[in-house]
Amino acid sequence: MAEENVDVCIIGSGWGGAIPALRLSAAGKSVVVLERGRAWKDSDFRQTVDPRYVLSLFRIDTSADLKATMVTSQALLGGTSPLFSNVMLRAPSLVFDRGDDEGNRYWPRSLDRALFDPYYQRVENDLGVVPLRWTDEGYPGLNCQDGEAADHTWDLVPKRGYAFAKACQAAGYNEVSPVPVALDHRCVDCGWCTMGCIFGAKRTPDKVYIPAAQAQGARFLTEHEAKTIEPEFLSDHYKVHAVDMVNRQSKTFVAKVVVLAAGAMNTPVILQRSKFRFPRLWDRLSRQVGKKLSANGDAAFAVNLPVSEAMLASETFRGKIIGTTCWSFLEEFGFTLQDTYLLNSALALVVEPPDGPGWGLEYKHFMQALATTVNGIISMGLDGDDGEIRYNSLTDKGHMTWRMSTRSAQLYRTISAKVGEIVKAAGGQILKTPLAENRIACVHPLGSCRMGDDPDLGPLRADGQLYGYPNVYVTDGSALPGSLAVNPSLTIAANAERVSEGIRNNFPA
Ligand SMILES: Cc1cc2nc3c(=O)[nH]c(=O)nc-3n(C[C@H](O)[C@H](O)[C@H](O)COP(=O)(O)OP(=O)(O)OC[C@H]3O[C@@H](n4cnc5c(N)ncnc54)[C@H](O)[C@@H]3O)c2cc1C
């Protein structure tokens, strides 16, 4: 079996993996990154919802009772981000300061929003994050934040965002603002962001951090799956055992520092599998690994919003996936809402007519009538961390269980009521939501290997290091202590910057 010595072995190449790869290679360390997915060119992406294509991109984890579904990706260099909806929001202060039902602070005491701000700023600068702009043309009455005529339109809020803002206003909720995005002028508003951008307009790890890390000498081994980590008995080093998925060859990397960044659905599984294979070597691993998986309070609603004449030309199937955030419910109820794009074919799958069959001429007319007014609304909120991921040695995989807590049930009830209020104020209705069947569908799994003030609260110290295992770090979404009530990428990236700085400053001899 091939064995190679490196300073740093990183598992995963999303925000959590690509940023340490850049910062540590720039500090002169030899870095190898193991990534299950492969490198995609812009021209490899397709603008289609052909299920074969969609399933080649996304990984779908479902709980055994089918009540919870998590959507992530393991197909691409750059992690899930090449398929994301581009929104880069800072987490609000109240997220860092919140307490759990037992009165413990979710986040370690030493971490708060002020400490994160410089790291947020660094990521925003490196990616060139820009806020979308309102334009008042055709939308009188909306608060126009940027009155100047611009010579470009690629960064405008999609019309769906106006329809949503108008509906919120009609219900008396006025705190709606355009989202900041990691996009550039190549965006043509085609609306296919979540199938991969054929125009190269996204500012994601594969476009920004990975090429920069490669220029510093970091090696990204695609189609390589890390299986286990074995702490070396006689040294402070760790062996990462991996498989080259193309040649079915086993490889081992002996590293001074290991960074786990395999995503919230995978990082706990690698640790649990390692403990299963090397029980004595991992006997100090916190029992919290895999527990408290949060769905970030994600919920989705297909709605009909016939808000005004202008909205009838809402260009439902065009524009950025997400344009605006409504902040009006954050302080009191702990959630935010955003408008979102609904893929037309997905819509046909999920929306049934209130009466009459879901096929034939009647159905065609029903769908036609919706075409200019249909909209999506999504929520993100402070849920109760209801999931758990457990490694099963028979399947050699992680399996998710889900039990809706009182906190989450209350949150989702309030979200449904408020979305109902907004939609009603606009003269529309909720067409479909998985919440109606007590199901949750989430694209932002978080917190399954989180930081905490002691190992009973989370497996990681505030500096991102595993309790009991010096120089093993976790930097992906699993490290964040629970829901952020907003889209998580910017916080995952900022945390990866912060932890990378600590690794660099305390690098083992
Ligand atoms: C459709 C969609 C839209 C989204 N839109 C937004 C948005 O607008 N804004 C936002 O903030 N967030 C968004 N998200 C969420 C966001 O994309 C993720 O939260 C974020 O990318 C997670 O980053 P990460 O580094 O934690 O993990 P990931 O990006 O998932 O990276 C983990 C990587 O590890 C690899 N890996 C896993 N196991 C192994 C192994 N054993 N060996 C080697 N490699 C392994 C995976 O292949 C993957 O590449 C969206 C998600 C989806 C699905």
Domain containing 493 — which CATH number?
3.50.50.60
Q: Has residue 347 got a pLDDT over 80? A: no
User: Is the residue at 84 inside a domain?
Assistant: no
Residue closest to 203 by CA, chosen among 265, 261, 130 = 130
- Does residue 404 share a domain with residue 347? yes
For the whole model, what pTM was predicted? 0.96
The residue with greater pLDDT, 266 or 317, is 266
User: Is the residue at 256 inside a domain?
Assistant: yes
Residue 366's pLDDT band, with cuts at 50, 70 and 90, is: confident
Atom of ligand 1 nearest to the CA of 267: 38
Q: Residue 397 belongs to what H/E stretch? A: strand 397-402
- Does residue 351 share a domain with residue 279? no
Structural domain for 383, as ranges: 58-74+131-194+295-444
Q: How far is the CA of 73 from the centre of ligand 1 (A)?
A: 6
Q: How far is the CA of 320 from the centre of ligand 1 (A)?
A: 19
Confidence at residue 374, expressed as pLDDT on a 0 to 100 scale: 80
Q: What would the mean pLDDT of 50-79 be, rounded to a whole number?
A: 95
User: Is the residue at 313 inside a domain?
Assistant: yes
- Does residue 279 share a domain with residue 358? no
Atom of ligand 1 nearest to the CA of 446: 19
Q: How far is the CA of 203 from the centre of ligand 1 (A)?
A: 14
Residue 348's pLDDT band, with cuts at 50, 70 and 90, is: low
Q: Has residue 289 got a pLDDT over 90? A: yes
Atom of ligand 1 nearest to the CA of 71: 53
Q: What would the mean pLDDT of 252-273 be, rounded to a whole number?
A: 98
User: Is the residue at 199 inside a domain?
Assistant: no
* pLDDT, tens only, 219-261: 999 999 999 999 998 889 999 999 999 999 999 999 999 999 9
Atom of ligand 1 nearest to the CA of 486: 11
Q: How far is the CA of 460 from the centre of ligand 1 (A)?
A: 20
Q: How far is the CA of 53 from the centre of ligand 1 (A)?
A: 18
Residue written as tokens 């344009």?
A: 323
Q: What would the mean pLDDT of 292-306 be, rounded to a whole number?
A: 93
Residue 141's pLDDT band, with cuts at 50, 70 and 90, is: very low
Residue 8's pLDDT band, with cuts at 50, 70 and 90, is: very high
- Does residue 254 share a domain with residue 367? no
- Does residue 376 share a domain with residue 259? no
* Alpha-carbon distances, residue 55 vs 58, 59, 73, 132, 317 (angstroms): 5, 7, 9, 30, 21
Shortest-distance Cα residue to atom 15 of ligand 1: 444
The residue with greater pLDDT, 229 or 375, is 229
Give the residue, out of 38, 84, 240, 389, with the most ligand 1 atoms within 8 A of its beta carbon, to mutate for a pocket test. Answer: 84
Q: How far is the CA of 72 from the centre of ligand 1 (A)?
A: 6
Confidence at residue 210, expressed as pLDDT on a 0 to 100 scale: 98
Confidence at residue 147, expressed as pLDDT on a 0 to 100 scale: 43
For 480, the 3-state DSSP assignment is coil
Within 6 A (CB) of ligand 1 lie: 11-16, 34-37, 71-72, 74, 79-81, 83-87, 194, 225-226, 261-263, 266, 270, 322, 443-444, 476-477, 487-489, 492
DSSP 115: H
Q: Has residue 144 got a pLDDT over 50? A: no
Question: What are the strands of the beta sheet with 324-326, ordered from one edge?
Answer: 176-178, 324-326, 335-340, 374-381, 299-304, 429-432
Q: Residue 23 belongs to what H/E stretch? A: helix 15-26
Q: What percent of the chain has pLDDT over 90?
A: 78
C-alpha triplet 273, 74, 186: angle, nearest 5°: 150
User: Is the residue at 79 inside a domain?
Assistant: no
Atom of ligand 1 nearest to the CA of 18: 25
- Does residue 271 share a domain with residue 213? yes
Residue 310's pLDDT band, with cuts at 50, 70 and 90, is: low
CA–CA separation, 171 and 424 (whole Å): 8
Q: What would the mean pLDDT of 491-498 be, rounded to a whole number?
A: 98
Confidence at residue 142, expressed as pLDDT on a 0 to 100 scale: 45
CA–CA separation, 496 and 214 (whole Å): 18
Residue 452's pLDDT band, with cuts at 50, 70 and 90, is: very high
- Lowest mean pLDDT segment, chosen from 48-57, 329-338, 442-451, 474-483: 48-57
How many Cα atoms within 13 Å fall on the side-chain side of residue 109?
Answer: 4
Q: How far is the CA of 490 from the centre of ligand 1 (A)?
A: 12
Domain endpoint, select from 444, 459, 477: 444
User: Is the residue at 46 inside a domain?
Assistant: no
Q: Mean pLDDT over all residues of the chain?
A: 92
- Does residue 437 share a domain with residue 455? no
Q: How far is the CA of 132 from the centre of ligand 1 (A)?
A: 23
Q: How far is the CA of 1 from the centre of ligand 1 (A)?
A: 30
* pLDDT, tens only, 390-435: 999 999 999 999 999 999 999 999 999 999 999 999 999 898 899 9
C-alpha triplet 492, 282, 504: angle, nearest 5°: 40
Contact 212, 18 (CB under 8 A): no
Q: What would the mean pLDDT of 371-388 be, rounded to a whole number?
A: 91
Confidence at residue 140, expressed as pLDDT on a 0 to 100 scale: 40
Phi, psi of 479 (to 5 degrees): -75, -20
User: Looking at the 3D structure of the chain, how many domains does it have?
Assistant: 2
Atom of ligand 1 nearest to the CA of 74: 47
Confidence at residue 454, expressed as pLDDT on a 0 to 100 scale: 94
Q: What would the mean pLDDT of 116-120 be, rounded to a whole number?
A: 98
Q: How far is the CA of 114 from the centre of ligand 1 (A)?
A: 25
Domain endpoint, select from 394, 428, 444: 444
- Does residue 476 share a domain with residue 418? no
Atom of ligand 1 nearest to the CA of 34: 43
User: Is the residue at 48 inside a domain?
Assistant: no
Q: What percent of the chain has pLDDT over 70?
A: 92
Q: Has residue 138 got a pLDDT over 80? A: no
User: Is the residue at 404 inside a domain?
Assistant: yes
Confidence at residue 135, expressed as pLDDT on a 0 to 100 scale: 67
- Does residue 136 share a domain with residue 124? no
Confidence at residue 180, expressed as pLDDT on a 0 to 100 scale: 97
Confidence at residue 136, expressed as pLDDT on a 0 to 100 scale: 54
- Does residue 433 share a domain with residue 353? yes
Q: What would the mean pLDDT of 213-220 be, rounded to a whole number?
A: 98
Domain endpoint, select from 444, 466, 492: 444
- Does residue 135 share a domain with residue 123? no
Q: How far is the CA of 443 from the centre of ligand 1 (A)?
A: 9
Atom of ligand 1 nearest to the CA of 445: 19
- Lowest mean pLDDT segment, chosen from 25-39, 212-226, 355-369: 355-369
Confidence at residue 150, expressed as pLDDT on a 0 to 100 scale: 53
Q: Has residue 459 got a pLDDT over 50? A: yes
- Does residue 14 share a domain with residue 104? yes
Give the residue, out of 484, 489, 490, with the most ligand 1 atoms within 8 A of its beta carbon, to mutate for a pocket test. Answer: 489
Confidence at residue 418, expressed as pLDDT on a 0 to 100 scale: 98
